[in-house]
């Protein structure tokens, strides 16, 4: 419960990261979600990823829309900046914040309703513009907060808890993100922390629009036997194409898997993605092949997970707009307001 303060004391021997912070320093308030909700596991993966990356919590901004998923930023990174926006509007608020202050790590958390229905346009434009962010959708196929209506990611023919079949085609958000120009796209499952934590770390390190679709079962409204977003269904139909390790800084690279099944991809910031390949022919840097593969496996009823697509030398919105390197809040009056003569010159150039 959010009103129950977690005791500040913790075991003196809890592991510390490079900043001397413990896991507890990355936690938030006690969750009010239903016990067993997939979203809580994703919060825990975000905490783990930020702890392992030694991110200073005050350099992170977490933004969300409306929904059970969008409530979750309260339950992690309690010392970070947070903004709970309007339903479906997280992407534009995040874009504005990023343009004003490019020095923060931006984490957008949304739901399948928040992103694939009311916020679909916002999602599309933030991705195609290359906003430097990690955009996570906690995808349960329903509007959990408003009691379980089908969302736009619910599979066609998949029944609700009361047996009514969904008539509409499903939107595949990961496939959409690749098509829209995201330069890092992953899909994972809330029940697979081994896959999810490194994906989140790599997405945070990625400079550009990084999108992760996380299947996150709603235990209250969409975890019944016939649901394609239930824990059992996802476990049985999960086709992981790779598992990831992220190597940041100058740590030596150890190849502990059989040569040939490991692929190294260097990102713009020097971080290295070490991919343990499970599908031998899957190349996450080949956009067209990735799209075809996703559609083929989807038609066969499989849910492809892992790092689906990455463009290691991606550009972000700041580069595209040729923005100043200094965040606006660190500029002085003279830089922010160059005076009426400069304005006059701009106006004259437009006449
Ligand atoms: C403008 C507006 N329309 C509708 C709602 C009602 N509403 C609240 S949450 C929600 C859907 C949330 O679904 P999702 O994003 O999938 O989150 P979940 O609860 O499943 O995690 C809706 C329709 C609202 N809050 N605001
Ligand atoms: S209603 Fe569903 S999505 Fe919302 S907290 Fe409960 S289990 Fe999670
Ligand atoms: Mg949902």
pLDDT digits (tens, 9 = 90+) for 174-221: 999 999 999 999 999 999 999 999 999 999 999 999 999 999 999 999
Q: Domains in the chain: how many in total?
A: 1
Nearest CA among 153, 172, 158 for reference residue 111: 153
- What ligand 2 atom has the least distance to the C-alpha of 36? 7
Q: Which atom of ligand 1 is nearest to the CA of 115?
A: 15
For position 230, what pLDDT does the model report? Answer: 96
Strand, coil or helix: what is 74?
helix
Q: How confident is the model at residue 109 (pLDDT cuts 50, 70, 90)?
A: very high
CB half-sphere exposure, 206, CA atoms < 13 A? 32
Give, for 69, the enclosing helix (H) or strand (E). helix 68-71
For residue 4, being part of any structural domain is answered with no
Closest ligand (CA of 35): 2
Residue 258 has pLDDT above 90, yes or no: no
Ligand 1: centre distance to CA 231 (Å): 22
Q: Which residue has the higher pLDDT, 13 or 110?
A: 110
Whether 14 maps to a domain, the answer reads no
Mutate to test the pocket of ligand 2, among 42, 150, 219 (most ligand atoms within 8 A of CB): 219
Percent of the chain whose predicted confidence (pLDDT) is above 90: 83
**Average pLDDT estimate for 150-164:** 95
Examine the pLDDT at 90 and tell me if it is beyond 70: yes
345 within domain boundaries: no
State how far the alpha carbon of 188 is from the alpha carbons of 25, 195, 196, 343, in Å.
Answer: 25, 7, 6, 49
Cα 335 to middle of ligand 2, angstroms = 47
Tell me, what CATH number does 289's domain have? Answer: 3.40.50.970
Ligand 2: which of 220, 222, 230 to mutate, judged by most atoms within 8 Å of the beta carbon?
220
Number of H-type helices and E-type strands within the chain = 12, 13
Q: Please provide the average confidence, as pLDDT, over all residues in the chain.
A: 93
Burial class (CB in 10 A: 0-12, 13-18, 19+), 79: middle
Confidence label for 260 from pLDDT (cuts 50, 70 and 90)? low
To which residue do tokens 């499903």 refer?
A: 170
Predicted local confidence at residue 254, as pLDDT: 54
259 has a pLDDT exceeding 50: no
User: Is 144's C-beta closer than 6 angstroms to any atom of ligand 1?
Assistant: yes
Is residue 283 within 8 A of residue 62, CB to CB? The reply is no
Q: Is 114's pLDDT higher than 80? A: yes
Q: Probe ligand 1: pick from 43, 89, 114, max atoms within 8 Å of CB?
A: 114
User: What per-residue confidence (pLDDT) applies to 2?
Assistant: 60
| pLDDT digits 0-9 by tens, 285-336 | 999 999 999 999 999 999 999 999 999 989 999 999 999 999 998 999 988 8
CA distances from residue 191 to 71, 225, 316 in whole angstroms, order as listed: 19, 17, 31
308 is a domain residue? yes
> Has residue 18 been placed in a domain?
no
Expressed as residue numbers, the domain containing 195 is 23-323
The pTM of this model reads 0.94
- Give which of 76, 45, 51 is closest to 63, Cα–Cα: 76
**181 occurs within a structural domain:** yes
Question: Residue 338: its pLDDT value, please?
Answer: 85
Q: Does the residue 159 lie in any domain? A: yes
Tell me if 275 is assigned to some domain. yes
Q: Which two tokens stand for residue 261?
A: 């099944």
* Residues, CB-to-ion distance under 5 Å, ligand 3: 111-113, 140, 144
Residue 145 Cβ < 6 Å to ligand 1: yes
């Amino acid at each position: 419960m959010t009103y129950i303060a977690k005791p500040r004391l913790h075991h003196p021997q809890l592991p510390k990261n490079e900043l001397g912070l413990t896991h507890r320093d990355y936690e938030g308030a006690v969750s009010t979600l239903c016990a067993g909700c997939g979203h809580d596991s994703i919060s825990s993966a975000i905490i783990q990823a930020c702890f392992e990356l030694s991110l200073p919590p005050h350099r992170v901004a977490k933004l969300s829309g409306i929904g059970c998923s969008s409530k979750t930023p309260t339950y992690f990174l309690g010392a970070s900046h947070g903004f709970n926006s309007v339903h479906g509007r997280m992407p534009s608020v995040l874009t504005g914040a990023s343009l004003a202050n490019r020095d923060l790590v931006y984490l957008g958390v949304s739901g399948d309703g928040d992103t694939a229905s009311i916020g679909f346009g916002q999602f599309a434009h933030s991705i195609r513009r290359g906003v430097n962010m990690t955009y996570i959708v906690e995808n349960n196929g329903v509007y959990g907060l408003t009691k379980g209506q089908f969302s736009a990611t619910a599979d066609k023919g998949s029944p609700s808890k009361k047996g009514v079949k969904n008539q509409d085609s499903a939107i595949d958000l990961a496939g959409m993100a690749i098509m829209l120009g995201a330069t890092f796209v992953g899909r994972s499952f809330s029940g697979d922390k081994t896959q999810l934590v490194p994906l989140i770390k790599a997405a945070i390190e990625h400079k550009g629009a990084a999108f992760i679709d996380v299947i996150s079962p709603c235990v209250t409204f969409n975890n019944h036997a016939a649901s394609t977003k239930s824990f059992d269904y996802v476990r049985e139909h999960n086709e992981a194409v790779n598992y990831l390790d992220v190597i940041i800084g100058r740590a030596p690279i150890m190849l502990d898997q059989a040569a040939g099944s490991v692929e190294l991809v260097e990102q713009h910031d020097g971080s290295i993605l070490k991919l343990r390949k499970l599908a031998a022919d899957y190349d996450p840097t080949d956009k067209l092949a990735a799209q075809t593969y996703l559609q083929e496996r989807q038609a066969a009823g499989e849910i492809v997970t892992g790092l689906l697509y990455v463009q290691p030398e991606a550009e972000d919105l700041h580069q595209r707009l040729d923005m100043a390197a200094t965040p606006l809040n660190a500029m002085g009056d003279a830089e922010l307001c160059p005076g009426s003569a400069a304005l006059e010159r701009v106006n004259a150039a437009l006449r």
